[in-house]
Structure 1
């Protein structure tokens, strides 16, 4: 359900940020595993679950938007397009998540290389992983927040 007030919207944003912190912690924990590719696979799985969950919380999943009247749908799509979101109101696929992860490719590359530095490297890799997941999740929350806020204000 789409939030009706700014207070309700703020509450949803805080719930989602908490959810992002939990998932970023899981990402950091998997980054410590010294096997190549385990952390990347985990990051993809985390984001495949996290992004749709955030969309649902804000009432912006494809299924929720589909149930809206035509005029409201049109407003949503205009706002979504105007902010340039690639994740709101769309079915989230592995390919879409990989594209998103490539946008922060430098961080992911640093994480992979850092793993091979004994002790410090694993801590660095975990920190980079946590930061990258938190950045991606919070950026998506911010986009959802903007879309819903604009809908409330119109």
Structure 2
């Protein structure tokens, strides 16, 4: 096989791997009665307002998911609220095609819920039981001088008794107002563990940052995505940059920037979600940093400026004029270096902003507890 054919095959594989990542879909069923906080849980999972929240029934039309890039949530009614036999529930909603199911309650699980859990376990569906609004229970108990820890443990023990004998993936107490607290991060970690490799990467790319562990996984993924784009730049150098005697695919760099932005939850909608939770002063500073990230890395002119400042080696540029074959190899190497260098800078900046966002959100509950 010729060297050119090797390069062509490598380029095809890299593009196919990126396309597989971008097109991966995770189907997650969210099941529970109206008003238990299903929509709020979905929003907390992705760190964005993608599901309508209300005390009245807001369940979407069956078959139409609530989408967040690769995450598809199917907000389904509880068994007791549907107009057909519960025995047909799994069949009616095609649940066997899901990757996992989250059952949500704001108090306890009832007979119909337990029936559904049993049916889901029969088809080996990963099932996660969530008790939402734990902060409300804690606040009420504090007024009676019952500590947060005591309330948490009491609620958890009651749920364990409620679900005794069912082999669930886990039981989680969550709060939509404090997504960085309680058990949401553990829920996300356990869902991640239940998925295959490609879907794990898609899941990590699309979920909210609720723990340092998730932040570390996002960094690992972002670096992998940068590496894939840098390798593509090495085998697909095009679009000569003014002032640089090399070819770099500008659209490739912009695509890489979008991936890094999205992985670290720096999009406008996710910043709006953070703004709603933080005080105005903190939220404005953090939102401004996210906007600066976009201005620096996502526009065509901004990317060209970054390339010019990256310092393409003059020696490589000169050598390519005299040694065409070597010049091709050197040009590809420079393209790889530039893309990799800019990508690493992107990841560093994005991680810094995301870490600040995470720490600011964690501090909400600390300030609340101190009041």
- TM > 0.5 fold call: yes
How far residue 79 of structure 1 moved from its aligned partner, in angstroms, is: 4.7
Which residue does the alignment assign to 2:303?
Answer: 97
Counterpart secondary structure, 1:139 = helix
Q: Which has the higher contact order (CA 8 A, sep 6+)?
A: 1
Distance 1:144-1:77 versus aligned 2 partners, 3 A rule = farther
Q: 1:148 pairs with 342, 354, 367, which one? A: 354
Q: 1:107 pairs with 312, 318, 322, which one? A: 312
Larger Rg: 2
Gaps of 5+ in 2: 1-46, 48-207, 361-371
Aligned residues: 148
Distance 1:87-1:152 versus aligned 2 partners, 3 A rule = closer
Gaps of 5+ in 1: none
Instruction: Say if 1:76 and 1:147, in contact at 8 Å, map to a contact too.
Output: no
Q: 1:12 pairs with 206, 210, 218, which one? A: 218
Which residue does the alignment assign to 2:132?
Answer: none
Instruction: Say if 2:254 and 2:300, in contact at 8 Å, map to a contact too.
Output: yes
How far residue 109 of structure 1 moved from its aligned partner, in angstroms, is: 6.0
Q: Give the alignment of 1:77-96 within 5 angstroms.
A: 77-79=284-286, 86-88=292-294, 92-96=298-302
Instruction: Say if 1:24 and 1:134, in contact at 8 Å, map to a contact too.
Output: yes
Instruction: Note the alpha carbon deviations across 1:97-146, whole angstroms, 9 max, x for none.
Output: 12222221x31766654443222221111111111101101111111111
Say which is worse superposed, 71-80 or 15-24, in terms of deviation. Answer: 71-80
Instruction: Say if 1:48 and 1:97, in contact at 8 Å, map to a contact too.
Output: yes
Instruction: Say if 2:261 and 2:267, in contact at 8 Å, map to a contact too.
Output: yes
Distance 1:23-1:66 versus aligned 2 partners, 3 A rule = same
CA RMSD of aligned residues (A): 3.2
Which residue does the alignment assign to 2:335?
Answer: 129
Q: TM-score, normalised by structure 2?
A: 0.35
Distance in structure 2 (CA, Å) of the matches to 1:55 and 1:152: 15
Instruction: Note the alpha carbon deviations across 1:19-75, whole angstroms, 9 max, x for none.
Output: 1111101101123x7x956823x1x11111111111011100223223433536753
